[in-house]
Chain A
């Protein structure tokens, strides 16, 4: 099973989510870096069974993972909320072909944000994704995160759906400005 027994100390959510991705058979990890994803990206980069693919822009990841599924492989797209807007037209490929898509979106512009430029996209994430045919699971509590990613991966890969897990800035902590 990919669900169950994945809850852990909330400060260790990247490790718990990484185990979920391994259990789900994910072998392609596409990302545009975000501070909130830094530890998870490190874990994926260090794993020889995974292709880590750094992107110049997030829509590349949507296309990459579509190709991965054509070839029989599973992937995940790690991005920040600002990257969601870059994906919109490429998500039409996912919807038209009913490709599975698993994405983990770390939020900005949502909880205690300091930078006003992050707010418009951050506030639009759920509606933008849902308008593009993506199911959104929002997580506010770190203790729920691994279990939610496990459930999302089942919905993506076993029910052939596009699913994004949005991770609250409340979990990640607001960016500190010194």
Chain B
């Protein structure tokens, strides 16, 4: 069996997510279950945020469905390394679709932070950005430094094709900041903010 490597990053996850969201404009945000949801809530709750409190492995695919439905809007997925590892097939599916308005960012602390800090596969060297590049993402990178992060902060909103980034962060834990958690409420709130009517899309093809 492989041995775990040393964790090398000293980037702080809260500061990373705050910087990534600072320039979001009207971008739509999907977060994965656990720490990335608390990180986004700590930056500030928004109706344009959809927090996935369950469905581990599904965040990137929810982002794909949204990006295909809203090609004129920028869609950002921010999720954890454990969540992404559970849905690796999504990398292939997203790369084949290649939506130009989708960026998937993994906040990679190399541990399962919510369950006792057990190592994820990335601590053993599994390279998520390498996998995304091999799947065919137009751009894929691993971020280790503040300088890399500064570049990424604009690239996630300006990249001409589907982007993947694995941002290595420290294992430091933060206060849990809870956003709303009722899924039906989050759905209606998001659709009302985006579409103007939570029932928009219903009754298509049907005479009243």
Partner pick for A72 among B62, B92, B194, CB 8 A cutoff: B194
Q: Do A73 and B89 touch (CB < 8 A)?
A: no
Q: Is A62 an interface residue (CB 8 A)?
A: yes
A-chain residues with CB within 8 Å of residue B186 when the two chains form the complex: 97
Binds B, one of A9-17, A36-44, A50-58, A124-132: A50-58
Q: Do B201 and A67 touch (CB < 8 A)?
A: no
Q: Do B54 and A157 touch (CB < 8 A)?
A: no
**CB proximity of A153 to chain B, nearest CB, Å:** 8
Complex Cα distance A73/B111, Å? 35
Chain B facing A: main interface SS? helix
Complex Cα distance A2/B207, Å? 9
Which of B60, B69, B183, B194 has the most chain A CB atoms closer than 10 A to its own CB? B69
Complex Cα distance A161/B89, Å? 27
Complex Cα distance A53/B186, Å? 25
Q: Do B191 and A90 touch (CB < 8 A)?
A: no
**CB proximity of B178 to chain A, nearest CB, Å:** 16
Partner pick for B54 among A51, A73, A93, A158, CB 8 A cutoff: A93
Task: Tally the A-B contacts, defined by beta carbons under 8 Å.
Answer: 143
**CB proximity of B166 to chain A, nearest CB, Å:** 20
Complex Cα distance A71/B195, Å? 8
Q: With A23-B205, A56-B93, A73-B201 given, is the CB distance from A67 to B54 under 8 Å?
A: no
Complex Cα distance A99/B54, Å? 14
Q: Do B205 and A28 touch (CB < 8 A)?
A: no
Complex Cα distance A68/B62, Å? 7
| Interface size band for B | 35 or more
Q: Do A158 and B58 touch (CB < 8 A)?
A: no
Partner pick for A53 among B30, B93, B200, B204, CB 8 A cutoff: B93
Q: Is B5 an interface residue (CB 8 A)?
A: no
Q: With A93-B54, A93-B58, A158-B202 given, is the CB distance from A72 to B69 under 8 Å?
A: yes
Complex Cα distance A72/B52, Å? 18
Q: Which residues in chain A, 72-104, are within 8 Å of chain B measured between CB atoms?
A: 72-75, 89-90, 92-93, 96-99
Complex Cα distance A75/B62, Å? 13
Complex Cα distance A129/B168, Å? 39
Q: Do A67 and B93 touch (CB < 8 A)?
A: no
B-chain residues with CB within 8 Å of residue A148 when the two chains form the complex: none
Q: Do A72 and B93 touch (CB < 8 A)?
A: no
Q: Do A55 and B89 touch (CB < 8 A)?
A: yes
Determine the residue in chain A with the shortest Cβ distance to B181: A96
Which of B50, B64, B92, B205 has the most chain A CB atoms closer than 10 A to its own CB? B205
Q: Do A60 and B184 touch (CB < 8 A)?
A: no
A-chain residues with CB within 8 Å of residue B190 when the two chains form the complex: 70
A-chain residues with CB within 8 Å of residue B187 when the two chains form the complex: 69-70, 97-99
Q: Do B89 and A71 touch (CB < 8 A)?
A: no
Given contacts A66-B65, A71-B69, 6 further A-B contacts (CB under 8 A): A55-B93, A63-B61, A69-B191, A98-B183, A98-B184, A158-B206
Which B residues fall within an 8 A CB radius of A? Answer: 28, 30, 50, 52-70, 87, 89-90, 92-93, 96-97, 183-184, 186-187, 190-191, 194-195, 200-207
Across chains A and B, which 5 residue pairs bring their CB atoms closest together, nearest first?
A67-B65, A71-B69, A56-B89, A63-B58, A63-B61
